[in-house]
A and B are shown apart, each in its own frame.
Chain A
Amino acid sequence: MSDQHSVWLYVLLALFFVVLPIAIAIVLPRHRRFIVPVIIFGLLCVVLAAGLNLKPGCIPSPLVGKPAPEFSLPKVEDATQMVSNKDFLGRKYLINVWGTWCVACRQEHEALLAIAREGVVPIIGIDWRDDMSMAQRWLGQLGNPYTATAFDQAGKVAIDYGVYGAPESFLVDEKGVVIYKYVGVITEEVWKDALLPRINGTIKDKEGTTCS
């Protein structure tokens, strides 16, 4: 979805296309018969222009505002242990869905490491449809930003979270409610402008889904 500013721009344009023909019709009554087609044409242009700027790949998550689905999965760092998001109840946390097959996940890894170093929120990784030994090597070589990484080989938890691509990240509050979904690569800017303000509570939104 386009942001608030561009929505107002389109409203303004639409108004312009309605007001201008009417004004012309008042000044030049002989051309009155052209008003309706011109208005229709103008509005059509505005609708089509708005359509060009939509992001059909960015789907608002119905999960925002609802309890984060519970999961309990083997831990990538130590396969004998389990990871559950219940253990994180009472504090805000970030869920990050990734996989070693995901090129964009490699891109955001540095940013995740930096976020982990700040220590504002723990990051729970969900390793989606992956190979355990490859995931272990990935974390060993690149560094591990995750407090714990859940191994979701069957993709069941990913379905519960409505994941349709990696990377995707979810911000969960102290009560275990999803407050925000970010689809795409997390960068330092995304952390500063989108995630941190929602952790601090300076941004509160109803349908909080953003895509990179």
Chain B
Amino acid sequence: MFITRFTRGFTTCLLFAMLSFRVWAVDSAPAFDDPQLQARYDNLTRQFRCMQCQNESIADSPVSLAADLRNEVREQIAQGKSDDEVRKFLSDRYGAFVLYKPPFEARTWLLWLGPVIFLIGGLIIAVRIIMQRSRLADNEDESDQLRDNIKEQGEKA
């Protein structure tokens, strides 16, 4: 009883999970017959931002400009251009903004290093707080004295 129920539930979940997997891909047919070229095409089109919708890659976007750009990428791969050449082609025309992985340069260093800077900053703050607390815990006398001081001040006021 339990097992049949479990399997039924599991298969239903699995079915739904499969349904959500690239069912509405924008192109009906793959761009290349060669799986290696198709892999490069899939990888590249996911790296370019759709300039009209901005939060979608050209691989996911249904707008006509994205279709034109996919077509451009497909043609250039077919011509034997390297991935870097295709990236340069598009960023020369649309700017680094078209790249989801922009190059490391003067305008993008904060974008690339930001997470590391925040992580290090957070670590420093955390370590300082921990050290402060452990010092307080160690010097019970000191903290007692502190409490007395505060009390004294309170009494004076």
Hey, which bits of chain A sit against chain B, CB under 8 A? 56-57, 59-63, 129, 154-156, 158-162, 164-165
Contact = CB atoms under 8 A, between A and B. Distances in A.
A62 B91 CA distance: 8
Contacts of B68: 129, 154-156, 158-159
Contact of A162 (B54, B72, B95): B95
Contacts of A129: 64, 68
A60 B65 contact: no
Interface string B67-101: 01100100000000000000000011111010000
10 nearest A-B residue pairs (beta carbon): A164-B51, A162-B93, A155-B68, A62-B95, A162-B94, A59-B97, A164-B52, A59-B95, A159-B72, A129-B64
Contact of B54 (A57, A61, A63, A161): A57
B81 to A, nearest CB: 15
A162 B91 CA distance: 9
Nearest to A63: B93
7 contacts: A56-B54, A129-B68, A154-B68, A155-B65, A164-B51, A164-B52, A164-B94
Interface string B37-56: 00000000000000110100
A161 B95 CA distance: 11
Contacts of B54: 56-57
Nearest to A163: B65
B102 to A, nearest CB: 12
A155 B93 CA distance: 13
B90 to A, nearest CB: 8
Contact of B95 (A57, A60, A158, A159): A60
B96 to A, nearest CB: 8
Contacts of A162: 93-95
Contacts of A61: 95
B64 A62 contact: no
A56 B51 CA distance: 10
B79 to A, nearest CB: 14
A61 B94 CA distance: 6
Contacts of B97: 59
Contacts of B51: 59, 164-165
Contact of B93 (A56, A57, A159, A165): A159
Given A129-B64, A155-B65, A161 B93 contact: yes
Interface in B17-43: none
Given A59-B94, A129-B64, A158-B65, 8 more contacts: A57-B54, A62-B93, A62-B94, A155-B64, A159-B72, A160-B93, A162-B95, A164-B65
